[in-house]
Amino acid sequence: MSVRSGGKGKIKPPKRQEQSSIEGWESLCKALQSLVKGESENINFYDNYRIAYNIVLHNNGDKLYINLKELLNQHLEEVFSSQVISALSISNTNNPQPNFANMISLKVLKCVWEHYKKVLDLIGPILMYLDRVYCKSAKVPTVHELGKELFRDIIFQPIKYFILDTILRQIFLEREGEIIDRSIIKAIMDMLLELTGQRLVEECDAQGYIKNVEERLEEEQQRVKNYLSSVTEPKIRNIVEKELISMQLKTVIEMKNSGLIHMLKNEKIDDLRRMYLLLERVTNGHEEMKYIISNYIYDFDKVVNKTGAKDNIADTTFQEARDFKNKLDKSLNLAFFNDKMFQTAFNEAFKFLSNKDIN
């Protein structure tokens, strides 16, 4: 999308016949425009949340979403032109200190990214109802996900090779004994991993995502062996684990047609084992798995009562319960290595289930 020189991103008003049902549209427009600029002092978040709520309630969530996308798109294009390209032009000139100039460019990118993340954090609460209702029903990315997609496409993609070359150059210089600004390198690496994790979640199912993360961890470990000091390996590993596992933990586990419950139902032992081993790397990884599985067991009778035969339901329910337990015991044994934490959770959940009158 092209941006008019000096133009401001504006959210288009609804059609005339819709105006009576959408009060405060202009107020919401101004609030979002101010937040994009980082001006939040005079914003009434609750009032603007109510306006956005009413817009979605009156079936105009699609218009709000489309115009929010346009606003963020225009903002990022303006930032790219006015800040990122300007910083890159310094690097591309015959600068007597090219490494210093390149690091200045990365510093500008770091500031742009951090400011933009704050913008998304400010917009998020106002458009919470848009996320919960419209984004879910329309199966489109949430406000945060949309924002990251746009940043990746508009800011990162055009300069990705410059970023990677600069990072590798800094690593080389450090190995040669020069002092580099590690804080900037770490911040840019965090950004890259966050954007990469977002892309993988969008493009992969749970099994594919887990496989990609395993490969990424192996690649980073190999890079350390080939190019870096061994003392940097734990730091790099922690960054990858945080951005690709911890940050995406809940999303991957709860994927409807490929996540944890899907794996249990279909006895995907290899996939369950890989998920178990991958999530073992991060805090609360196994706790989140245990919570999901326990609730799955607690809700077993609800599933049976919805699908079970009306005749001889007691026998049907008992047999299904036994088969259900055998299936989970198999997963516990083969995929979770008889982990005592999972074993205790399973036993408690089945004890709760056996004490219920599932008929």
Domain C-terminal end among 188, 203, 218: 203
Take residue 21 and report the two structure tokens written for it: 């049902």
Q: In terms of domains, do 180 and 34 share one? A: yes
Assess whether pLDDT exceeds 60 at residue 116: yes
Query: Does residue 257 lie within any of the structural domains?
Result: no
Domain C-terminal end among 203, 228, 252: 203
Higher pLDDT, 304 or 69: 69
Quote the pLDDT of residue 293.
93
Q: Nearest-CA neighbor of 223 among 179, 175, 156?
A: 175
Q: What angle do CA 84, 87, 93 make, to 5 degrees?
A: 135
Assess whether pLDDT exceeds 60 at residue 78: yes
Question: pLDDT digit string (tens) for 27-59?
Answer: 898 899 999 988 888 899 999 999 999 999 989
Please state the pTM of the whole predicted model. 0.61
Query: Does residue 69 lie within any of the structural domains?
Result: yes
Quote the pLDDT of residue 313.
41
Q: In terms of domains, do 68 and 194 share one? A: yes
Assess whether pLDDT exceeds 60 at residue 128: yes
Inter-axis angle of helices 285-298 and 300-307, to 10 degrees?
A: 40
Quote the pLDDT of residue 164.
81
Tell me which residue range forms the domain holding 302.
Answer: 287-354
Quote the pLDDT of residue 112.
95
Query: Does residue 6 lie within any of the structural domains?
Result: no
Q: In terms of domains, do 159 and 297 share one? A: no
Assess whether pLDDT exceeds 50 at residue 20: no
Query: Does residue 198 lie within any of the structural domains?
Result: yes
Q: In terms of domains, do 302 and 183 share one? A: no
Quote the pLDDT of residue 302.
64
Q: What integer is the mean pLDDT of 125-144? A: 92
Query: Does residue 71 lie within any of the structural domains?
Result: yes
Higher pLDDT, 341 or 192: 341
Measured CA to CA, the distance from residue 134 to residue 36 in angstroms comes to 22
Of the pLDDT bands very low, low, confident and very high (cuts 50, 70, 90), residue 96 is very low
Assess whether pLDDT exceeds 80 at residue 315: no
Q: In terms of domains, do 65 and 183 share one? A: yes
Spatial CB neighbours of 168, under 8 Å, sequence gap ≥ 6: none
* Total domains, the chain: 2
* 3-state secondary structure string across the chain: CCCCCCCCCCCCCCCHHHHHHCCCHHHHHHHHHHHHCCCCCCCCHHHHHHHHHHHHHCCCHHHHHHHHHHHHHHHHHHHHHHHHHHHHHHHHCCCCCHHHHHHHHHHHHHHHHHHHHHHHHHHHHHCHHHHHHHHHHHCCCCHHHHHHHHHHHHHHHHHHHHHHHHHHHHHHHHHCCCCCCHHHHHHHHHHHHHHHHHHHHHHCCHHHHHHHHHHHHHHHHHHHHHHCCHHHHHHHHHHHHHHHHHCCHHHHHCCCCCCHHHHHHCCCHHHHHHHHHHHCCCCCHHHHHHHHHHHHHHCHHHHHHHHCCCCCHHHHHHHHHHHHHHHHHHHHHHCCCCCHHHHHHHHHHHHHHHCCCCC
CATH value at residue 174 = 1.20.1310.10
Q: In terms of domains, do 166 and 70 share one? A: yes
Domain C-terminal end among 203, 221, 246: 203
Question: pLDDT digit string (tens) for 268-312?
Answer: 999 999 999 999 999 999 999 999 999 999 888 665 555 544 444
How far out from the chain centre does Cα 119 lie?
16
Of the pLDDT bands very low, low, confident and very high (cuts 50, 70, 90), residue 11 is low
Question: pLDDT digit string (tens) for 189-247?
Answer: 888 878 877 776 777 788 888 988 888 888 777 776 666 666 667 777 887 888 889 98
Q: Nearest-CA neighbor of 72 among 155, 179, 169?
A: 155
Higher pLDDT, 95 or 76: 76
Question: pLDDT digit string (tens) for 137-167?
Answer: 998 989 998 999 999 999 998 998 888 888 8
Average pLDDT taken over every residue of the chain: 82
Q: In terms of domains, do 163 and 293 share one? A: no
Higher pLDDT, 271 or 8: 271
Measured CA to CA, the distance from residue 352 to residue 86 in angstroms comes to 64
Query: Does residue 169 lie within any of the structural domains?
Result: yes
Query: Does residue 247 lie within any of the structural domains?
Result: no
Q: In terms of domains, do 58 and 173 share one? A: yes
Q: What integer is the mean pLDDT of 97-114? A: 82
Dihedral of CA atoms 290, 292, 294, 295 in degrees, nearest 10, equals 160
Quote the pLDDT of residue 182.
82
Q: How much of the chain exceeds pLDDT 90, in percent?
A: 40
Inter-axis angle of helices 61-79 and 45-57, to 10 degrees?
A: 130
Quote the pLDDT of residue 100.
64
Q: In terms of domains, do 321 and 173 share one? A: no
Q: In terms of domains, do 58 and 163 share one? A: yes
Query: Does residue 151 lie within any of the structural domains?
Result: yes
